[in-house]
Amino acid sequence: MSVRISYEDAVAVVTLDRVEALNALNEELISQIGDAIDEVARSRARAVVFVGEGRKAFCAGADIKEIQRRSPEEMRRAVAFGQGTFAKLDTLAIPSIAVLQGFTLGGGLELALACTFRVAFGDIKIGLPEIKLGLIPGYGGTQRLPRIVGPARALEIILSGRMIHTEEAERIGLVNAIEQGADSREVGVRYAQQFTEFSAGAILNARKAVAAASETSLAAGLEIEAELLVEAFGAEDGREGMSAFVEKRAARFNRS
């Protein structure tokens, strides 16, 4: 198996382990990532962390040696499979965190872009270098990157294929935080734990509302926000959170 899942308290940790190829994404690895997402979705985990085996790379992108052999039709099918897998991650009910270490390139960055948050562990070099191969991103990079850093910055990153280093990545919002720690797992679990204490339902509603901001008009987004707030307000966790405040005690949110 090139993908391992382990659990630490309420946090699932998914490790990409194809270290001899800098965790490059071949079809088997993408398929195993999809299976891991399904397993985590069925588990009681409240957040999921993605890390890469080894210190050199989170993931060096799609496996160039594998895609080079494909026909255009095979490529169309493979792109759809990868996009579908990353969409599953994007819409997972719990927050996901990619811990970036060393190189995160091409499809590796696209995997991270499909996560809710990205954290840099130490010095990182990230980018979408597909243009250097005469290609363009295909696992969501042209769609998710502009939503995170804005269209002008995204286009410059995609057309230049350049590497972005740690401080710039944080400055432009491509990573949420730069963290230090013993290893990427420890860093990821610590970062994820801040999202495991609150109401899972409220966290999901907040994510849905923010996602609507880049997909709808302001008026439609405000309607969605209002609906999702009223839903959270009427849910057990909403009642519990407000009662706990008034009664001056810690809230006991649903654990499932």
Nearer to ligand CO8 by Cβ, of 161 and 221: the residue is: 161
Nearer to ligand CO8 by Cβ, of 9 and 123: the residue is: 123
CB of 120 to ligand CO8, least distance (A): 16
Q: Which member of 27, 28, 53, 110 is catalytic?
A: 110
CB of 154 to ligand CO8, least distance (A): 15
Nearer to ligand CO8 by Cβ, of 10 and 60: the residue is: 60
Which single residue brings its beta carbon nearest to ligand CO8?
106
Q: Mark whether 110 is an active-site residue.
A: yes
Nearer to ligand CO8 by Cβ, of 103 and 191: the residue is: 103
Given a contact cutoff of 8 angstroms between Cβ atoms, the answer to whether 50 and 112 are in contact is yes
Nearer to ligand CO8 by Cβ, of 129 and 238: the residue is: 129
Residues that bind ligand CO8 (CB under 6 A): 21-22, 24, 60-65, 67, 75, 78-79, 82, 103, 105-107, 129-130, 133, 137-139
Give the distance from CA 185 to its chain's centroid: 15
Distance separating alpha carbons of residues 149 and 231, to the nearest angstrom: 30
CB of 179 to ligand CO8, least distance (A): 22
Q: Which member of 27, 74, 130, 168 is catalytic?
A: 130
CB of 158 to ligand CO8, least distance (A): 11
CB of 26 to ligand CO8, least distance (A): 8
Return the active site residues: 110, 130
